[in-house]
A and B are shown apart, each in its own frame.
Chain A
């Protein structure tokens, strides 16, 4: 029953009387929002709870002093806790030492029992409470935080602040590896967290992890958790924790959290809420930080897959992969120089669907390899379809021609190898330093750029329109010297490293989206921008001079060096393969990896990649080069992959 108070909403100044008591029934309450008087739990007028079923605890507030217990504390920060019926704070004492304060009603036996259960399972890995006291109906549990330990999230934050600090391998060893080991131990014991906050995991100087606040743990053998009310950790929780993908949470959710820690340790960025997008994975960490080793990037990307079934099954598997990636990175860094056997494959195809609409293949390739020296030049070019003047195939052919010219120059001039003249091509030679090799590839791309300008200039000495979008091509180049490869890339064609069950993209797409990401935009914002996939750099960039002549602009390709190992396979491909090889980019890369690893040789691998792209629709031209590095002939080294 509810009735409106006669003076609902009014209280004359200076009057201290309780209006309600004059007009309401015993046990009734006046709604403070609409003034209705009622005897039920919720106001009949607006729905506000006016007579709670249980008394609301009087929670402490930030700034409050706690004088009970061993030493006085001041609450400095309120933080979220898994159970909505509890509260959690950070407090400091007079010496500046930090403490964790957990507050829950004394009657909340479930909450206290869950924490005790977690502590029992984790043992020393869970910090023990220092003291506890009761105040009214609330129990306060205080845990002193060790001075020599810092949280995983804190350590990641310090990396963001000091981006040029420790080397990626050192950062991974200091932050991600202990965290993964900690989770692997728990999974080995038959439990998982599901929604662990890395801020609650402390790492001491010896690399041991401990938990400052024990979240619920769940037995693995009871199967995944059904969806219910959960606390999501932004930037670290898997999509299924928030209900996506069916909402069932298992050990793969912990793998995701660990993968996120690894990703941020490599990329050196603040946690991204978009990591929980169930459809799009984060961009490769190299977008944010150039010196990311490929194996570590591959492990991180698999661990943070939005789909649980694509990740490592548990933290033990992730730990094995991470330790492998660390070993391979060290091996790649420390391996002695030597000539490796090189198996080469390539394919060029118009695309079964693309060919129905456009009869000219706009992809092009160049391959040259000198078996005596182990030096080779490999180029893939993808002409841009939309051109104000000319065609994409003309543009990509300019890249190929520039590559041919570059190879001739490496071989000491224009050597035709004409059998009639009896001349023998000279062996190619390369500068010893990386800068020199980069310069060769840079000049090659600038030469291609100039050739495009020359083509346009032949027909139109004075170019009337704007210098953008005239004629362009992407370009990938690999300059091989034994076990050293220098890569150059401009545009959105891809170079992958396939090794031991992993695939990693070695370069970054030169599109608008990548620019926005590097400017700090969230991935979801960058993706939603119209024409986000438009290229911002490619071969075919010009200015105009005062006479309206096209002037080639010096190009700024991305460079990278890689010390290849036996067992490495490099795949250079236009986007016609990754765009059509699978259900999404991640699935496409995984299928590409499987095809490459299953193929008995590089030519077979290239062919199967072409078939894969056509089976997926073949909606774009296909151009790919596969370089498979094997052990030096007669060495007996299987590559150790």
Chain B
């Protein structure tokens, strides 16, 4: 089995008393990190512009090397779905023995018009082709929050700003250090285990979705995004675990693989036993990860509660956010949420800029 990767797993709580059933969901943390010794495959970037605006390619060209490829196009319509279809055509499907890191950069400056289901299918098709997605928003049009959720599903991110060139070049540098192409994480859950929500913790916090299994299909596949030395990807998932007898139990098998085979594997393990310290052992790394991603989920709840007019819920969520940012010593985020909260208490509204700024702070 090739390596070049390290995979670490942790489960919270790591030990439970036999027969114990807790109302608190079990949480598991998976961390994948590339080692520095592996070689970097070539980079293929499809840069697609949606709507009006300059086609930023000079900064990107300067960051690429001879073995890399840059493919440019304008999307045929003002929709992200059209842009992604264009990008997939440009990138094509390489031969199995030709490793590459494939990436789509979408440059969007105007409001986008997409059918939600078709857009989700387009992003899923990208993921299935081991192509990552980053969106560069230039202007006031697209909703960065919604785009961020989509990009996160494809292992990517949303970048805002009037001059996306330098940001793209930086992104190229990150992808350049990526040591694994077409990577996927397969999670095969044991019978009786019900996965809940999936979050990315690092490099940026994002809610990736609620996980659903069937009785026959117990494996989920996740795109970890670009992996580079010193830049691990950490994923947090919640699990429902039934009461169990004494023993060591595998909750899920984690396998990291690419088109060439399995790169790393490890079980998610929880012990039910007679350890006197059972109720006192803590996987502090899992708890810390959960603290980090919860603000992302709370902000999405705020976004949903606002149009419903549920002001009490919004106020409670903002207070919760403030407490968490204070706890994590995030001074700028704290100041931002205090200001948003005070404005909301006075006016009943939060403006879109403040909400987006909070989302960015929650993610980073």
Contacts and interface: CB of A to CB of B under 8 A. Distances in A.
B282 A46 contact: no
A230 B284 contact: yes
Contact of B284 (A46, A227, A233, A587): A227
Interface string A13-55: 0000000000000000000010000000110011111001000
Q: Chain A CB within 10 Å — which of B284, B288, B290 has the most?
A: B284
Interface in B271-295: 271, 275-277, 280-288, 290-291
Nearest to A243: B287
A407 B228 CA distance: 76
B327 A278 contact: yes
A229 B247 CA distance: 19
Q: Chain A CB within 10 Å — which of B12, B249, B334 has the most?
A: B249
Contacts of B346: 353
A228 interface: yes
Interface residues of B, number: 42
B322 A583 contact: yes
A242 to B, nearest CB: 5
Interface in A57-87: 78-81, 84, 87
A49 B283 contact: no
A273 to B, nearest CB: 10
Contacts of A309: 329
A583 B326 contact: yes
Given A47-B190, A244-B327, A80 B280 contact: yes
A232 interface: yes
B334 A583 contact: yes
Q: Chain A CB within 10 Å — which of B291, B326, B334, B346 has the most?
A: B326
B280 A228 contact: no
Contacts of A45: 191
B251 interface: yes
B342 interface: yes
A80 B191 contact: no
Nearest to A306: B327
Interface in B233-258: 245, 247-251, 253
Interface in A235-251: 240-247
B326 A46 contact: no
Interface of A: 33, 41-42, 45-49, 52, 78-81, 84, 87-88, 226-234, 240-247, 278-279, 306-307, 309, 353, 583-584, 587, 617
B280 A234 contact: yes
17 contacts: A42-B249, A47-B190, A49-B269, A226-B285, A227-B287, A228-B284, A228-B285, A229-B281, A230-B282, A241-B284, A242-B287, A244-B288, A245-B327, A307-B327, A307-B329, A583-B338, A617-B342
A543 to B, nearest CB: 36
B328 A246 contact: yes
B193 interface: yes
B327 A243 contact: no
A227 B191 contact: no
Given A242-B282, A279-B327, 19 more contacts: A42-B250, A46-B191, A47-B251, A48-B247, A48-B249, A80-B277, A81-B277, A84-B15, A226-B285, A228-B285, A229-B282, A229-B285, A230-B282, A230-B284, A231-B277, A232-B282, A243-B287, A243-B288, A617-B342
A228 B14 CA distance: 11
B323 interface: yes
A243 B283 contact: yes
Interface string B326-355: 111100001000100010001000000000
A49 B281 contact: no
Given A42-B267, A227-B284, A247-B285, A584 B248 contact: no
B342 A243 contact: no
Nearest to B338: A583
B192 interface: yes
Q: Chain B CB within 10 Å — which of A78, A87, A226, A229 has the most?
A: A229
B10 A232 contact: no
Contacts of A42: 190, 249-250, 253, 267
A84 B277 contact: yes
Contacts of A88: 276
Contact of A227 (B192, B193, B285, B326): B285
Nearest to B189: A47
A47 B249 contact: yes
Contacts of A233: 280
Contacts of A279: 323, 327
B347 to A, nearest CB: 12
Given A47-B190, A232-B282, A617-B342, A247 B326 contact: no
Contacts of A246: 288, 291, 328-329
A84 B275 contact: yes
Contact of A49 (B248, B322, B334): B248
Nearest to A45: B191
